[in-house]
Every structure is written in structure tokens, then in C-alpha cells.
Chain A
Amino acid sequence: NAGVTQTPKFRILKIGQSMTLQCAQDMNHNYMYWYRQDPGMGLKLIYYSVGAGITDKGEVPNGYNVSRSTTEDFPLRLELAAPSQTSVYFCASRQPQDNSPLHFGNGTRLTVT
């Protein structure tokens, strides 16, 4: 029972490089989310999706893009990496019922230098 799987676990990027953070869930959850977590700042929502083909911006979407072609996968794309994107990125999913809890992956730690 894998739950939410994120790859890679760690990555170092140079300024201006691009990368895709992968997220896959095997719980058939419609709703998926990307958060970033900076020290002392809590989780900030980047993008979310309520189903395949539907995505929407969260609080801090600038510099990121997402796609949702299947229920299982929700990749996050960084096009031109900047030092401000150094953070830990968490993907999460949940069922569509209103009070259902989030299931998180174990994160990708990204450093941009």
C-alpha cells in the first residue's frame, strides 16, 4: 500500500535549470495538492487539482506549472529555477468528501544555487 509517492527525494539545481517533481497516488483520490514548506513558515499551497484535466492556482503559484492527465499522477514543473524556490515540496491527496484528511508524500528537498 504505497499511498503518495514523490520522486526524487533530493535535488540540487542551478539557477535557470528546469525540473519536474513527480507525484503519484494509488488510492484513487480525485483531489491532489502541491505544497511547499519553508522553515517556520508552514505549508503554502502552490497548485491543486480536483480531477483529471482540472487544475487551479493556490497561494504561491508563480514559477510553477502543473498538469493532471490521469487520476494517479500530478507532476509539478519548475521552468526557470530561482534561489527563492529552495524549499521542501510536499504532494498530498484526498477523497472529495468535505472533511476527508490529506495523505502526504514524504517530500522532495530542492536546493537552487
Chain B
Amino acid sequence: SQKIEQNSEALNIQEGKTATLTCNYTNYSPAYLQWYRQDPGRGPVFLLLIRENEKEKRKERLKVTFDTTLKQSLFHITASQPADSATYLCALPNDYKLSFGAGTTVTVRA
């Protein structure tokens, strides 16, 4: 069966450091992968999309990599700030649908 797994433990990091989140998947051959941010009490918000033929994508302090051989995406938040504290979800396409990982909660300490 298809599975999407993200870091099960929450990430607690010091302001200014880099947070690295993983998203591993099995039994998918995705044409792309998306990352979302979710704040408490709110719906997820789209951050980035990376296609299968792209190794890396950047947006401001965010960087995403996609390795279809390893079946893995890494999500980096560089020069982290307390405002980056949130839960981050990866999502893969499945016909008309998007399936989500359980998310990784990041807390950035000032």
C-alpha cells in the first residue's frame, strides 16, 4: 500500500540554525511533490512544489530537494526564525487527489 512518512518527532531548534525535515514515500511514482505549512487552528497553506525532474527548488529561506531514486524529499528552513514555528506537511498526488504525510512540528527558540 502507499505510504508517506515524515519525521515522527518534533524538531526543536535555535533561532538562526537550519531545520531539515524529511518526507519518505513508498509505492508512489509522483510527478511532483508539494510542501504545506499549518499553524495551530488554521488550514494548511501551500509553500512549494517540486517536480520529478527537478533536484532542488528554493523560495526565500526555504529549500526543497527531491530524490526519486531514494523516494525522498528534504525540506530545509535556513536562518530559522521563531515565526517559522509551525507544522510542515508533504503531499503527493494520487489521481485527482493529494495524499498527506502526518507532518513534522518545528519549534524555533529565540
Interface residues of A (CB under 8 A from B): 4, 31, 33, 35, 40-43, 45, 48, 50, 58, 90, 92, 98-99, 101-107
Distance of A48 Cα from B99 Cα, bound (Å): 12
Q: How many A-B residue pairs have CB under 8 A?
A: 53
Query: Which of A35, A99, A105 neighbours the largest number of chain B CB atoms within 10 Å of its CB?
Result: A99
Please measure, in the bound complex, the distance between the C-alpha atom of A99 and the C-alpha atom of B103, giving whole angstroms: 20
- Contacts known (A31-B96, A48-B97); A99 close to B51, Cβ less than 8 A: yes
Chain B interface mostly helix, strand, loop or mixed? strand
Q: Are A99 and B49 closer than 8 Å at their CB atoms?
A: yes
B28 at interface by CB-CB < 8 Å: no
> Quick check: A41 and B102 within 8 Å, CB to CB?
yes
Q: Which residue of B lies closest to A6 (CB)?
A: B43
- Interface contact A4-B43, CB-CB below 8 Å: yes
Q: What is B's interface to A at a CB cutoff of 8 Å?
A: 4, 31-32, 34, 36, 41-46, 49, 51, 89, 91, 93, 96-103
Contact of B31 among A42, A98, A102, A107 (CB under 8 A): A98
Q: Given that A92-B43, A99-B32, A106-B43 are known contacts, is A43 also in contact with B97, CB under 8 Å in the complex? A: no
Q: How far is the CA of A99 from the CA of B96 in the complex (A)?
A: 10
Shortest distance from the beta carbon of A105 to any chain B beta carbon, whole Å: 5
